[in-house]
Chain A
Amino acid sequence: MNSKNIVYIALFSALTTALGLFPPLTLPIGVPLTAQSIGCMLAGSIIGAKRGSIALCIYILLIVIGFPVLAGGKGGLGVMLSPSGGFILAWPLAAGLIGYLYEKNLRSLTIIKEACFIVLGGIVLVYAIGIPWVAVFAELSLYQAAVGTLFFLPGDIVKVILVIFVTRLIRRAYPSIDIKN
């Protein structure tokens, strides 16, 4: 892995941190919508599977080390040991899956395909890991944890739409980015 790849990884890890600086919107249903999970979608779709997932792993290391890089200035091991820790641990896998799908279909991308990729990685996979984690830590059944998590679905759909727009415009504005490094 050369210097350029390391720099990309570090920059997207820092970008995910910077996304936490945006004040969270509050949807009408009263659930805060933070921008940070956009970071794993962007990392996967822009710099690819390998670099994207490593970028998110670096981000998780920053959390574990104790830096307050999460939305609201949270950080430290307590975050990973809380019920929402599973969603954060899923981010590297989400970035990896999104990046992999983008790499495989780079020449035949359509908006529909991009939407499917980002939904699969950024929502389906993240929830598949986060919901069992909530169930274990909060001693709820899977069904109960899933119902509680549904409140966050509208916000995540908004994020997916946003990421699709951003990714397509980025690829047009900066065509020399090589997703397969």
Chain B
Amino acid sequence: MNFTEYIPGNSFIHRILPKYKLLMLVFISILLLVFSSFIAYGLMLFCLLCLYILTHISINLIWKQLKPFILVLCVIFIAQLFFSSWQSAVLVIMRLVILLLMAALVMLTTRSSDILDVLEKALSGLRYVGINPAKVSFAISLSLRFIPVIAAITSEIKEAQRARGLESSIIAIAIPLIVKILKMADDIAAAIEARSYNP
């Protein structure tokens, strides 16, 4: 499983600083909610596809970005057809597709570590509100590290319960999993403090 969507490359889009890409994404998202016309959306879609071509991203990949949202888009399209007009339905779908493709372009051309850096710098402004950016980064790193651990524990517990004939019971899996997590938290916290870590 590819853990991030990043695709290495050397295109113009890749080389833009992540913070500008994220700011542009927010800005254009707001614009999309303000303006509403076929011509504007058509132009934006055209520009987006040009940007995709610039980064040498394949058509397959573009489709893969939209596929998880097909069901939602279809439901909204039908709802709009039913409650409003087909023009309104097409406009809404176009706007959503533009948003999704823009977000996907940013994700495909930016490393997760770079985005994490941007977020940490952005959060440093919140230091005066009591948020420690180093602790946030620490929590994120820990969380990422724990995901495979919890998945492994879940598999273990599933097999153990299956051996006891309790495979179909969700509660029989959830209880030992969470108790294990809580006990693991105590051990890990003790280990961290024993190593004098202080963010």
List residues of A whose CB falls within 8 A of some B CB. Answer: 1-4, 6-15, 17-18, 21, 42, 46, 54, 58-59, 61-62, 64-69, 72-78, 80-84, 136-141, 144, 148, 162, 165-166, 169-170, 173-174, 177
Contacts and interface: CB of A to CB of B under 8 A. Distances in A.
Interface stretch (B41-49, B111-119, B159-167): B111-119
A166 B174 contact: yes
Contacts of B92: 138-139
B178 A170 contact: yes
B103 to A, nearest CB: 4
4 closest A-B pairs (Cβ-Cβ)? Answer: A10-B142, A14-B146, A4-B189, A77-B103
B97 to A, nearest CB: 10
Nearest to A21: B151
B53 interface: no
B140 A58 contact: yes
A17 B33 CA distance: 31
Contacts of A141: 83
Interface string B122-145: 000000000010011011101111
A31 to B, nearest CB: 10
B186 A4 contact: yes
Given A4-B185, A166-B174, A76 B107 contact: yes
A53 to B, nearest CB: 13
A21 B135 CA distance: 27
A164 to B, nearest CB: 11
A9 to B, nearest CB: 5
Nearest to A144: B83
Contacts of A2: 189, 193
Contacts of A169: 171, 175
A21 to B, nearest CB: 6
Contact of A61 (B6, B135, B140, B150): B140
A9 B189 CA distance: 11
A90 B100 CA distance: 20
B140 A81 contact: no
Contact of A66 (B112, B132, B179): B112
Given A76-B103, A82-B100, A148 B193 contact: no
23 contacts: A6-B189, A8-B182, A10-B140, A14-B144, A14-B150, A17-B147, A18-B150, A58-B139, A65-B140, A66-B112, A67-B112, A69-B147, A76-B104, A77-B107, A80-B103, A82-B100, A137-B96, A139-B91, A140-B76, A140-B83, A166-B171, A170-B178, A173-B175
Nearest to A167: B178
B143 A58 contact: yes
A78 B104 contact: yes
B171 A162 contact: yes
B112 A13 contact: no
B25 interface: yes
A57 to B, nearest CB: 9
A10 B139 contact: yes
A31 B132 CA distance: 40
Interface string B61-91: 0000100110010011001100110001001
A17 B143 CA distance: 9
A82 to B, nearest CB: 6
Contacts of A74: 68
Contacts of A9: 139, 143
Given A11-B142, A82-B100, 12 more contacts: A6-B142, A7-B189, A12-B181, A13-B139, A14-B144, A59-B143, A61-B136, A61-B140, A74-B68, A76-B104, A78-B69, A170-B178
